[in-house]
A = this chain, B = another copy of it.
Amino acid sequence: MPKKSKEGITFKKEENFSEWYSEVVQKAELADLRYDVKGFLVFQPWAVLSMEKMFYYLEKVLQEKGHNPYWFPTLIPEKNLKKESSHIGGFTPEVFWVTSHGKDEPIEEKLALRPTSETGFYHMFSYWIRSYKDLPFKTYQRANVFRYETKATRPFLRSREFQWIEAHCAHESEEKAMLQVREDMKTTKEVLHDIFGLPFIFFERPSWDKFPGALRTFAADVLNPDGKVVQQPSTHLLKQEFAKAFDVKFKDKDGTDKYAFITCYGPAVSRIFASVVIVHGDDKGLKFPWEIAPVQVVIVPIDTENEKIKKTAKNLKEQIEKFASIKIDDSEKRPGEKFNYWEMKGVPIRIDIGEKDLKNKKLTLFRRDLDKKIVVNESKVLNEIKKIAEETTENLRKKADKLFNNRIRDAKNISEIKKVINDGGIARISFCSVEKQGEKCAEAIEKQANAQVRGTRFEEKSEVSEKCIVCGTKANHVVYIARAY
């Protein structure tokens, strides 16, 4: 049946990951790449509905932890962007510039499309923060940001415009700023792991791989089936140069003026969505965790003309929509096509209503988390749906955690690193230094194993064996090696 296979997903996730991903993005209608500006795309409803739910959970947790929401202008004046030299050094190559308006008339000053908004927020922090009583000053915004990427773009993973949340906070001391960094990591766990079901490790990046302007950078790495890691939220303790450049200071309890310690945290919702697609999906297509499924339950009437079936579908919908998002598929397609379609779309629960089942007061449920059909009594269907709703995310998360943990392996030398990496894993090694002097060893690994030092695991209590497996000098850290995009 060539037609059928054309409609569904044809590539295998484990064998042809890259093609599988492209096919899922296209066939599940997540993004359309035919918008005719290089590196930009249109996010389609099935993705937007899920990403809106992701924003909801992220913003809810941030607000509960005392962050206040702002909307900053998209445009940042060049003079502000240039105030902190290491920051602008890192971002200048990626900036889009607005230079004119109307009929090519020059604007008052050159304006950047924000690649990130430190230089917007901290300019305003200097007005808003006066005293130690104003601290911690915790903010965030939901925003679209722009980066003139020169690497190949991939839908949701890397494009020239993407959707994110950026949280910016000012603190009175470095210790308090580090508590914020910990809080950001906890937030990431509570939302990305516990609700979206994504396993990751938070690494402190080595000194040569920090955010432009950061003193310390922490970033969560998620692992793809092709063995490459995707960087998810990162949180940074910025150098005080930022506070100095933007004059963010406060009068302390002792009456002296001090510069604030600033942290920033950036969960990129469109990229997190990519990881949800990739980590939970299978050869049939998407699998959504319950909380962020665009539609949670779909009803497929086996015969769309049968009045009794139609009535049952309508009644069920009315009861279910009180606690879940639900849709009846009364399109002209054949039932089999509908089954395949909604499985590909990753809807957690499908209810099939057929005449024979109805006679026996039964309904057939298909749960996508376990790819399992169950027949339940009509009277028990609501309870069963509520039960599946509670289990779906946990099932997906547990499966993902297991897979992830199995792919982290110790390596004792570079050829073992190569083996772990080529098996699609993350290698754990003893390493000399994550400061400048360790960069040579990192380069050796990069050259020989085509993989990078992702950093040290935050607060990992582990035995460091005596020697760096690359240079043989004293090892100070356990670091993790992985291949990135």
Q: How many copies does the complex hold?
A: 2
**Min distance, Cβ A311 to any Cβ of chain B, angstroms:** 22
With beta carbons under 8 angstroms apart, the residue of B32, B49, B70, B163 that contacts A42 is B70
Query: Is A100's beta carbon under 8 Å from chain B?
Result: yes
Flag if B48 contacts A101 (CB, 8 Å): no
Whether B42 lies near A74 (C-beta < 8 A) is no
Contact yes or no, B71 A42, CB < 8 A: yes
The answer to whether B48 and A71 have CB atoms under 8 Å apart is yes
- Tell me the A99-113 residues at the B interface (CB within 8 Å): 99-104, 107-109, 111, 113
In the complex, A43 has a CB within 8 A of chain B: yes
Stretch in contact with the other chain, from A33-41, A207-215, A440-448: A33-41
Q: Which B residues are CB-close (under 8 A) to A458?
A: none
- Contact between B124 and A32 (Cβ–Cβ < 8 Å)? yes
In this complex, what residue of B is CB-closest to A46? B68
Q: Which residues of B contact A37 (CB under 8 A)?
A: 73, 75-77, 109, 111
Query: Does residue A120 face the partner (Cβ distance < 8 Å to B)?
Result: yes
Complex interface: chain B residues within 8 A of A76 (CB): 37
> Is residue A485 contacting chain B, with contact meaning CB distance below 8 A?
no
**Whole-angstrom distance from the CB of A329 to the nearest CB of chain B?**
15
Could you tell me if A124 and B35 are in contact, using CB atoms closer than 8 angstroms?
yes
**A52 located at the interface, meaning its Cβ lies under 8 Å from any Cβ of chain B in the complex:** yes
> In the complex, what residues of B have CB within 8 A of residue A97's CB?
98-101, 104
A73/B163 contact (C-beta < 8 A), A95-B102, A124-B42 known:
no
Docked Cα-Cα span, A101 to B102, in Å, equals 19
Question: Does A68 contact B45, Cβ atoms closer than 8 Å?
Answer: yes
Tell me whether B120 and A71 are in contact (CB under 8 A).
no
As a 0/1 sequence over residues 46 to 67 of chain A, the CB contacts with chain B under 8 angstroms (1 = contact) are 0011011000000000000000
Among B93, B100, B124, contact of A99 (Cβ-Cβ < 8 Å): B100
* Chain B residues in 8 Å Cβ range of A73: 35, 37, 40-42, 161
| Identity of the chain B residue whose Cβ is nearest the Cβ of A38 in the assembled complex | B108
**B163-A71 in contact (CB<8A):** yes
Q: Are B43 and A71 in contact (CB under 8 A)?
A: yes
A113 vs B80: C-alpha distance when bound (angstroms): 21
Decide if B102 touches A99 in the complex (CB within 8 Å): no
For A163, list chain B residues within 8 Å (CB).
Answer: 71
Q: Are A92 and B98 in contact (CB under 8 A)?
A: no
Bound CA span A72–B161, Å: 10
Instruction: Check: A144 CB closer than 8 A to any chain B CB.
Output: yes
Q: How many Å lie between the Cα of A102 and that of B147 in the bound state?
A: 10
Q: Is the CB of B98 within 8 A of A70?
A: no
Q: Quote the shortest CB–CB distance from A211 to chain B (angstroms).
A: 19
Q: How far is the CB of A229 from chain B (nearest CB, A)?
A: 26
- Choose one: B36, B48, B75; the contact of A40 (CB below 8 Å): B75
For A102, the chain B residues whose CB sits under 8 A away are 92-95, 148
Q: Is A319 engaged at the interface, CB distance under 8 Å to the other chain?
A: no
Q: Which residues from chain B contact A68 at a C-beta distance below 8 Å?
A: 45
Chain B CB within 10 Å, residue with most, of A68, A73, A97: A73
Chain B residues near A35 (CB, 8 Å)?
Answer: 72-73, 120, 123-124
Q: In the complex, which residue of chain B has the Cβ closest to the Cβ of A45?
A: B68
B98 touching A96, Cβ below 8 Å: yes
Q: What is the CB-to-nearest-CB distance from A253 to chain B, in angstroms, rounded to a whole number?
A: 14
Least Cβ–Cβ distance between A135 and chain B, in angstroms: 15
Bound-state CA distance A457–B286 (Å) is: 49
- In the complex, chain B residues whose CB is within 8 Å of the CB of A70: 42-45, 48
Give Cα distance in the complex from A99 to B75, angstroms.
14
Instruction: Select A74's contact among B41, B74, B103, beta carbons within 8 Å.
Output: B74
15 pairs from A and B in contact (CB 8 Å cutoff) = A34-B124, A35-B73, A35-B120, A36-B80, A37-B73, A37-B77, A38-B108, A42-B71, A42-B73, A43-B72, A45-B69, A52-B69, A74-B161, A96-B100, A101-B148
Q: Which residues of chain A have a CB within 8 Å of any CB of chain B?
A: 32, 34-38, 40-45, 48-49, 51-52, 68-77, 80, 92-104, 107-109, 111, 113, 120, 123-124, 127-128, 144, 146, 148, 161, 163
Given contacts A95-B101, A98-B99, 10 further A-B contacts (CB under 8 A): A32-B124, A35-B73, A36-B80, A37-B111, A40-B75, A41-B73, A48-B69, A74-B146, A93-B102, A96-B100
